[in-house]
Every structure is written in structure tokens, then in C-alpha cells.
Homo-oligomer: A and B are copies of this chain.
């Protein structure tokens, strides 16, 4: 059926017929459908196991990521490159956008902390109307995704990383303010700290009033070129770093790097190649 779709697609676009062309599948990956018990939406989980997985009985560290269209192929390629000379073997899992929803709608709903229908940046009006449900998405990860994964794969659940970039980075930073113990490690790229009038700075202040503990091994990155006419993402991240550091949170190990020469988009592969060997070093 998939093959037929490919053929029809290519027949339609100017007479270029590729009768036998099947898609490229990434080695040692598996796709599962999962329903969120929180919002009833269906998602796919894309799982990549390391080379030794099939021949061992060990449990592997876990990295969870989102925005899978660009993030999952990239992380699979990077893991193929870095394992096992630069880092240990891990299982990587991408959580897709919700079925039937536009990507912009899914990620705005799931990755943003607050309802901000008037936010001037990013995505459609429709997306903004459903914004601010990260709390549901975090519960979905906790109640549905992680239990599914640990019941189907051999995982070391004491050694888990969240990888997020852009809105996904905003999500990572927000989990640290709501449920920091959900992951042991956070790899946060170019977080959208401009979101909703920089609401993250307020949310962090609220968090600091409640506790002086923030357990997390956190690596944050932003591209050098991300101070633009629209947003000052480099300055925002430095200011957020300053705000976090002044709390002297117990349990927080924080590293913040500006990636030389990188744009918002080119920063992402760098945060993988830099952080993964630090988070999952060779034994």
C-alpha cells in the first residue's frame, strides 16, 4: 500500500515514475502507536535500539525527544556516529505529533506552558487557540509513554534524558519547573524563552518560592546567531541562566553554551554531538 502511494505520488508530479521505490528505513527502529490517557490523542513512538541490543540482556539508558520529523533522523545518525567510540549505547525514542493534527498545532498545544492566544510569534491562529497544555503532555510522558517503553524495552529508568529544541527546549525547561525528577538529564536547545511575554521567568520565580531543589543534569544551548530582530534568544538564555544560578538549587547541574556560528536550526545537531557524550559517557 505504501509502495502504491509512492508510485502514485510520483506519477502525479511531472511524469517521474518510480515504480519500485520504497522509503528508506532506519536500522534497528520500531514504530508503536500509543494513546494519551490524558487528552485521548494518538501518537507514534519511534524507538531506536543500539547495535548490541539484540544480543545482550542488559538495560540501556534512554533518550526521549520530540519534533521527530527532523529530530529523530538526526539523533539516529548521530548515535550511529558516536556509539561506541564517543559515548555508550542508549535507546532513543521519538514522540510524534498527535495523529490528525497539524505539526504546528500539536507542538504548540503539547510543548508550551501557558495559554497564549495573542502570542505574535510562531504557528497558526488555530495552534495558538490550543496552546499551553504542556502539563497534559508531561503527564502523558509520565503515565503512558515511559510505562509503555519500560514494559517493551530493556531500559535503565534511572538514566533517562529529555532532548528538546525550540518549543521542545521550552518544554524541557518547563518540565524542570514542574516535574524535574521525570528525567535525570535535560538537553535543552534554543528554548523559546520569548514565549508569552517571557512567562518562563515568572514561572521560575514561582517555583523558587516553593522549593530550593531542582534535580537535573542540564545542558542548554543556543546558536550564536539567535539574537535577531524578532527575538533575543541568546540574551534570553543568558538571563535565564543567571536567574537559575542565583537560586543555587540543590541537585541542579547546569551548563549553558552559545554555539559558535550556529543559527536556530543548525544549533540542534551540535547540542546532540556535544551533550550526548557528556550525558552518556563511555563507562
Contacts and interface: CB of A to CB of B under 8 A. Distances in A.
Interface in A35-56: 46-48, 53-56
Interface in A69-88: 69-78, 80-82, 85-86
B86 A263 contact: yes
A142 interface: no
Nearest to A74: B77
A199 to B, nearest CB: 25
A165 to B, nearest CB: 9
Contact of A74 (B30, B32, B269): B269
A122 interface: no
Contacts of A80: 69-70, 73-74
Interface stretch (A7-15, A128-136, A156-164, A238-246): A7-15
A81 B16 contact: no
Interface string A229-269: 00000000000000000000000000000001111111011
Q: State how many copies of this chain the complex holds.
A: 2
Interface in A15-38: 16, 18, 20-27, 29-32
Contacts of A27: 23, 69
A75 B72 contact: no
Nearest to A47: B21
Interface stretch (A106-114, A167-175, A205-213, A271-279): A271-279
A202 interface: no
22 contacts: A20-B32, A22-B31, A23-B30, A24-B25, A24-B26, A24-B46, A24-B48, A24-B94, A26-B26, A26-B73, A27-B69, A70-B78, A73-B73, A74-B74, A74-B76, A75-B77, A76-B77, A77-B269, A81-B269, A260-B260, A266-B274, A269-B270
Given A10-B54, A14-B154, A16-B152, 6 more contacts: A21-B32, A24-B46, A70-B77, A71-B77, A81-B266, A269-B269
